[in-house]
Structure 1
Amino acid sequence: MSKFFRANVEAMASYVPGEQPPRGTQIIKLNSNENAYPPSPAALEALKTIDGESLRRYPEPFGGQFRQAVSQVLGVPSDWVIVGNGSDEILSIVIRACAEPGRKVVYPMPTYVLYRTLTEMQAAEILEIPYQEDYSLPVAELIAADGAVTFIASPNSPSGHVVPKDDLRKLASSLSGVLVIDEAYADFADENALDVVQEYENVIVIRTLSKGYSLAGLRLGFGIANPKLLPGLFKVKDSYNIDAIACAVGTAAITDQAYKNACIAKIKASRHKLMQDLKQLGFRVWDSQTNFLLVQPPQNNTEYLYQKLKAQKILIRYFPQPGLDDKLRITVGTDEQNQILVTALSKEGL
C-alpha cells in the first residue's frame, strides 16, 4: 500500500474508458458512442477565429457566452445553467458538493460506472439498486434509500432506455437530496426531462456536446438546475474550468440546430437498420433511444465476438461484469461501417 494516498483512493478501482486507438489507425470504432458524423461546419469555422488574445487572457469563469447560447436554444434562463469540462465534470462537481463519508449516493444498475468512481473518491456510501429485468426503474427502492445524491441516466447506458418522466417526478418529489438526471444521450431520444427540472428545486439535468454535437474531443457539458441549487456547485468548481476555445466552438455548435438535427436523423435511421440486421442474425436487441445498441448474441459468446472483431479492426464494447458479460454494446456508425460490422458477424457462423 502506498503511503501517499487516502485509504479510499488506494482501495478504489480506476474508471476504464473505451479503448482509444491512435489517430490515423484504420479501425472502425464502435465502442465509445462517439457521433458518426463530423461537427457542425459553424463549429469548425469558430475554431478558426480563435486569436492570440483569447488564449493570452483567462476565460470568462462561468462560460457566459455558452450559457447564453444554451438559454436561447433550450428556452431556459441563463442563470439556470452551469458549464463544465464535459458533463463528467458536472457529475464530479455535484459529488464534491454533496457527498462525503456518512452520506449515500444511490443509483440503479447497470448504468454509467463513473458514478461509482466519483463516489469512491469522496469516500461516501454507495448503494447500487438493480434494475428490473425489463429495465423498469426501481422507484420505491430508490425513494426508500433517499440518497444525498441519486443518479438516473436517461437515456441509460448501456441499456439505451428512457426513464418515464412520471418516475422521475415521483423521485424528485420524494427525495430529500439531489436528483441528477444524466441526459448525455438526450439528443437521440424522443423526450427529455427539461420540464421536470423546472418543477423541482432538487433536480439537475446534465447534458453534453460529446454525443449529439460530435464534440467528444472538445470536453464541454452543462447542467440545468434551479438557481437555488447552483451556488453550492459553483463553490467547488475550478475557477476557470471552461477554456475560451471550448466556449466559442460549443456556442457555434449548439446554435446550429439544423445541422445537429440532420445528423441525429441519419443516426436514428441507421440505428433502426442495424437493429433489424442484428435481429436477422439471431441477436436479441434492446430498444434504444441513444446512438448505441445493447445486444445479446444467440450463442452468448460475447467475449469471443469482441476479440474476433477486434482482430478485424472493429472495436465494440464488452463489459466483463455480472449482468452484462453476456451482452455487447455497439455504437451506431455510418451505414457503411454498420454493414462491415454485420458482414463480419455473419461470417462467425452465429
Structure 2
Amino acid sequence: MRIAKSVQNLEAYVPGEQPKSQDVVKLNTNENPYPPSPQCAAVLKDFDLDKLRRYPDPVFRDLRAALAELNGTVPERIFIGNGSDEVLSLAAKAFVENDEQIASLDPSYSLYKTLAAIRDVAWVPVGPDLRTAQVGSKVALALITNPNAPTGTLKEIDEIAAFSRVFRGVLLVDEAYADFAPVNCMSLATAAENTNVLVMRTFSKSYSLAGLRVGYCVGPVDLIDALYKIKDSYNVDALAQAVALAAVKDRAHFEDTVAQVVESRGKLTDALRARGWDIPESHTNFLFARPPAPFKADELFAKLRENNIFVRYFPGEKTGDRLRITIGTPQQNTRFLEVLDLLTGGHQDG
C-alpha cells in the first residue's frame, strides 16, 4: 500500500485531551461549561426514529433559513459543514491550486498548517498587522481567526476589511469565538459588494454543542457554491441539523450562557493578574496566560494535570511560556485557583 509523501511527512494536528474520568476540572479544549439549550434536549427526546431510515436533507434547508435570518442574509449565501473544521478542509481544496499557498496569523489555530500540509502546499505567516501585511502573489487562501486562538486578541473590523480589499485570494475569517467578543465581521460577508470574504462560525463554543459537529460559513454565492460542489453527499446528519436548529431558535438561552462566560472571564482574569500572571485582554472563552517568575508554563501544566486540572500547553517559541485556560463555571474556576495556589504557594504580584 502506498501512502502519499505529503501524508508520510505530515505533522498531524493534535486535539486537546478528552479524559474519560468525570472527576476533573476540564479547562483545556474551550468547550462551553454550560449545557445546551433545553430545546435541544426536547428535540432529542421527541426525535422520530423513522427519520433515521432516510438520508438527511443534503442542503440543510431549515437550518440554512434560520441562519440566514439570524445573520441578515439569504440561504444561498450559507454553507453548513460537519463542524467548522470541515469547512476549513473544503476551503483548502476549493480555493487553492497545487502551486499556491495558504496563509494565517502566527501563532494561530494549528490546524491551518496541517491543512496546508495535507494539500501539499506551502503555509506562510501573515501579519500581525494586516494593514501593512505583505502577502505574496501565490497566497490563494488566508485563514484569519478573529478573535485569535490561542492569544484571545481581537482585530477591529476596519483592519480586516482593509486587508480584504487588497488581498486577491479568498479571505476566510474564522469567528469560532466571535460571540464572546464585542464586534464581528459578519457584515463583511453579507455585504452585496463582497467578492472574496467568507465568515465562519461554529456551534461548538457559544451554543455548547461541540459534540454535535456543526459549523457554517457565510459569503458570496459563487464561493458557497464551490463548497457545495465538493462536500460529501450528506455531510451533516438529520439529528445534528434538528438539534442545531433548536439551538439557533433559543436566543434567550444563548445570550444567557454567553453573558455568564464573559462575566467569569473578567473575574478569572482579575484573579490571575492579582497573582502576577500576564494576560492579554481576551475576547474569547479562554485566557492565554503567562505565569510569573520563577514558574514555568510547561511545569505548571504538568502539575495541574497531576491534580486533575486540565489546561492546554502549546510548546514553541511564541507560545511555550503561556497556558491556555478555558473559562469554566465559577466553581471550576475557583477550584483551578485553589490548586494553583497550592502549587505556587499562593504567589501574589509584588
TM-score w.r.t. the length of structure 2 is: 0.95
Corresponding position of 1:169: 161
- The reply on whether 1:115 has 2:109 as its aligned counterpart is no
Shift of 1:74: 2.0
Corresponding position of 1:228: 222
SS of equivalent to 1:338: helix
Given candidates 128, 136, 150, the residue that maps to 2:142 is 150
**1:111-130 CA-partner distances (Å, limit 9, x unpaired):** 00111111111111211236
Corresponding position of 2:266: 272
Corresponding position of 2:318: 323
Shift of 1:61: 0.4
Residue identity in the other structure for 2:153: H
Give, in whole Å, the separation in 2 of the partners of 1:29 and 1:145. 43
- The reply on whether 1:10 has 2:27 as its aligned counterpart is no
Report the number of matched residues: 342
Compared with structure 1, are the counterparts of its residues 142 and 60 closer, same or farther at alpha carbon in structure 2 (3 Å cutoff)? farther
Give, in whole Å, the separation in 1 of the partners of 2:185 and 2:110. 22
Give, in whole Å, the separation in 2 of the partners of 1:139 and 1:322. 25
Counterparts in 2 of 1:130-145, with a 5 A limit? 131=128, 137-144=129-136
The question of whether the paired residues in 1 share the 8 Å contact of 2:130 and 2:159 is answered with no
Corresponding position of 1:88: 85
The question of whether the paired residues in 1 share the 8 Å contact of 2:304 and 2:339 is answered with yes
SS of equivalent to 1:229: helix
The question of whether the paired residues in 2 share the 8 Å contact of 1:108 and 1:138 is answered with no
The question of whether the paired residues in 2 share the 8 Å contact of 1:146 and 1:176 is answered with no
TM-score w.r.t. the length of structure 1 is: 0.95
Residue identity in the other structure for 2:265: R
SS of equivalent to 1:320: coil
- The reply on whether 1:338 has 2:336 as its aligned counterpart is no
Q: Which runs of 5+ in 1 are unaligned?
A: 132-136
Corresponding position of 1:134: none
Compared with structure 1, are the counterparts of its residues 144 and 100 closer, same or farther at alpha carbon in structure 2 (3 Å cutoff)? closer
Give, in whole Å, the separation in 2 of the partners of 1:108 and 1:15. 17
Q: Which runs of 5+ in 2 are unaligned?
A: none
Corresponding position of 1:47: 44
Corresponding position of 2:183: 191
SS of equivalent to 2:340: helix
Counterparts in 2 of 1:20-31, with a 5 A limit? 20-22=18-20, 24-31=21-28
SS of equivalent to 1:265: helix
- The reply on whether 1:284 has 2:278 as its aligned counterpart is yes
**1:319-350 CA-partner distances (Å, limit 9, x unpaired):** 11121000110000001110111111112223
SS of equivalent to 2:281: coil
The question of whether the paired residues in 1 share the 8 Å contact of 2:130 and 2:163 is answered with no
The question of whether the paired residues in 2 share the 8 Å contact of 1:85 and 1:242 is answered with yes
**1:36-59 CA-partner distances (Å, limit 9, x unpaired):** 100000011111222222100000
Give, in whole Å, the separation in 1 of the partners of 2:136 and 2:99. 16
**1:159-204 CA-partner distances (Å, limit 9, x unpaired):** 1111111111111111111000000011111011011112321110
Compared with structure 1, are the counterparts of its residues 279 and 327 closer, same or farther at alpha carbon in structure 2 (3 Å cutoff)? same
Residue identity in the other structure for 2:261: I
The question of whether the paired residues in 2 share the 8 Å contact of 1:105 and 1:148 is answered with yes
Residue identity in the other structure for 2:317: P
Compared with structure 1, are the counterparts of its residues 313 and 145 closer, same or farther at alpha carbon in structure 2 (3 Å cutoff)? farther
The question of whether the paired residues in 2 share the 8 Å contact of 1:106 and 1:142 is answered with no
- What is the RMSD of the two structures over their aligned residues, measured on CA atoms? 1.3
The question of whether the paired residues in 2 share the 8 Å contact of 1:101 and 1:122 is answered with yes
